Structure 1
Amino acid sequence: MNIREDDLTGPEIARLLAWHLEQMHRWSPACKVHAMPIERLRAPDVTFYSAWVDGVLAGCGAIKHLDAERGELKSMRMAPEFLGRGIGRAMLHHLMDVGRARGYRQLLLETGKPDAFVPARRLYESEGFGECPAFADYTTDDYSLCMSRDL
């Protein structure tokens, strides 16, 4: 597997992110979908990564700069055919390493509460993330929760 910084210009990543947004809207009301569109992921405060296995896009993830001590995980999504193969964990480890290299003391994320999000929450929990109060512009409710992990 190869994880690399991605400029979001390839058709494969565009398709995966479109599917990601579609899935977010499938399980959450529009007002609770916080997944960034591809244009927003190109902003200077976001660094986006893609994971490739034998030349095939396996997944993606991003880290958004919040301040000197904190970053936010965004757009963690694995391609359906790569689920359960450790790609998500590898991407999470990569993003945590990026956060450490930047000198962040904490990583935060927002994820969903419906059952469809249980695998993601279990992954985050297994890597030391725990539920935390809402941060930035997020609110927590029946559809949304926030998690954090000290680095």
Structure 2
Amino acid sequence: MEPQFEIKVDDLTGKEIIGLIGEHLKGMYESSPPESVHALNLDELRKPEITFWSIWEGPELVGCGAIKELDDGHGEIKSMRTAVRHLRKGAARHLLVHIIGEAEKRGYQRLSLETGSMDSFLPARQLYESLGFQYCEPFADYIPDPNSAFMTKEL
């Protein structure tokens, strides 16, 4: 049976989401050099230009993701993370489809992201590719970095 997921706009105050963001940041610093980590902390995720969602399976937090508005027509995906115990259930795909739909509703022409270029990020890159994201040059304030892969999707 397919898992039943519920996606909620999240205010980043619950202990579960605080723990997951901590896990996300820890994982980023374990797999990337510090200068190549672009993950946002809780305070940065609470900025008004960011909409943050959590995804739940019943009472359990399964994952999270966000959109940062870069300008009226361009959004950036941030903080995509699936809790380790919920990997390979389809939650990330479900949430990413939701985020793409939200970007389209907002009238964005483009949705972009930065992720790692190392092998540990291959499942994430494959997910983005499967939903139409293509590799691109750095965008916004990013600079070329061998540890980063930049991707974008025209909407």
Output the CA distance in 2 between the equivalents of 1:15 and 1:50. Answer: 12
- CA distance in 1: counterparts of 2:142 and 2:117, whole angstroms: 14
Residue 138 of structure 1: how far off its partner (Å): 1.1
Given the alignment, which residue of 133, 140, 146 partners 2:137?
133
Residue equivalent to 2:40: 36
Unaligned runs of 5+ in 1: none
Q: Are 2:24 and 1:20 equivalent residues in the alignment? A: yes
Contact 2:36–2:145 under 8 Å retained in 1: no
2:8 counterpart of 1:4: yes
Deviations 1:73-123 (A, max 9, x none): 000000011110000000100100110110001100000001110000000
| Aligned residue-pair number | 151
**Pairs within 5 Å for 1:1-151:** 1-151=5-155
Unaligned runs of 5+ in 2: none
- The letter for the 1-side match of 2:82 is M
Specify the code of the residue in structure 1 equivalent to 2:50.
V
CA RMSD between the two structures: 0.6
Q: Distance in 2 between matches of 1:5 and 1:140?
A: 32
Displacement of 1:139? 2.0
C-alpha distance in 2 between matches for 1:39 and 1:57: 20
The Cα shift of 1:145 comes to 1.5
- Runs of 4+ in structure 1 deviating by more than 6 angstroms, as ranges, are none
Percent identity between the two aligned chains? 48
* Aligned mates of 2:43, 2:102 — CA distance in 1: 22
Structure 2 distance, partners of 1:38, 1:116, is 24
Q: Is the 8 A contact 1:50 1:61 kept in 2?
A: yes
After superposition, the C-alpha distances for 1:59-80 in whole angstroms (9 at most, x for unaligned) are 0000000111110000000001
The alignment's TM-score, normalised by the length of structure 2, stands at 0.96
Shift of 1:142: 2.0
Give the whole-Å Cα distance in 2 for the aligned partners of 1:137 and 1:39: 19
TM-score normalised per structure 1: 0.98
